[in-house]
Amino acid sequence: MEGKDLTKMTVTKLREEAKKYTSIHGVHAMKKEELIRAIADARGEPIEIEKKKPKKKKKKVVSIADVKKQIKELRVKKEEVRKAKDKKGVDRLRKKIKMLKKQTRKFVKEKPEETAPVEKKEEKA
């Protein structure tokens, strides 16, 4: 087997393969990458493993005013759906509104200096 074959194998298959070599100890505690390296070292094969990088989600930059605007629009929709007697639709919109309200609270916690009102000092003459 080559290094490419090792990367395609499952962890359980790699453990079975690693047990065949007496130089490898602690097989059950090893992760997949560690098993592949240990097997390759035991065989004397050079191998490079590319570790998968998790994808980062891009955060949308939204202002509190935009979020509150969305909430107002959703409340109007919610009343329309309520008149149509669609309980699932009302519930879905209620949850969306709740999530957006939490988001506005989070904005305030993250940036209190920007949203806090500025206090004016009175000068005595």
> pLDDT tens string for the chain (125 positions)?
555 588 888 999 999 989 998 888 898 999 988 898 888 888 888 776 666 677 777 666 678 889 999 999 999 999 999 999 999 999 999 999 999 999 888 888 877 655 455 555 555 55
Query: Counting Cβ atoms within 10 Å, is residue 14 exposed (0-12), middle (13-18) or buried (19+)?
Result: buried
Q: Are residues 39 and 71 in the same domain?
A: no
- In angstroms, what is the C-alpha Rg of the chain? 29
How much is the pLDDT for 73?
Answer: 95
Q: Are residues 74 and 108 in the same domain?
A: yes
How much is the pLDDT for 41?
Answer: 87
Q: Are residues 68 and 107 in the same domain?
A: yes
Q: Are residues 37 and 74 in the same domain?
A: no
What span, in angstroms and rounded, lies between the C-alpha atoms of 36 and 79? 59
Domain that holds residue 31: 3-43
- With respect to residue 70, please indicate whether it lies within any of the assigned structural domains: yes
- With respect to residue 84, please indicate whether it lies within any of the assigned structural domains: yes
- With respect to residue 105, please indicate whether it lies within any of the assigned structural domains: yes
Q: Are residues 38 and 68 in the same domain?
A: no
How much is the pLDDT for 59?
Answer: 66
How many distinct structural domains can be found in the chain? 2
pTM: 0.43
- With respect to residue 11, please indicate whether it lies within any of the assigned structural domains: yes
- With respect to residue 19, please indicate whether it lies within any of the assigned structural domains: yes
How much is the pLDDT for 122?
Answer: 59
How much is the pLDDT for 6?
Answer: 82
- With respect to residue 125, please indicate whether it lies within any of the assigned structural domains: no
How much is the pLDDT for 43?
Answer: 86
Among 37, 17, 15, 36, residue whose Cα is nearest residue 26: 15
Q: Does residue 2 come out as left (phi exceeding 0), alpha (psi in the -120 to 50 range) or beta?
A: beta
How much is the pLDDT for 121?
Answer: 56
Q: Are residues 74 and 109 in the same domain?
A: yes
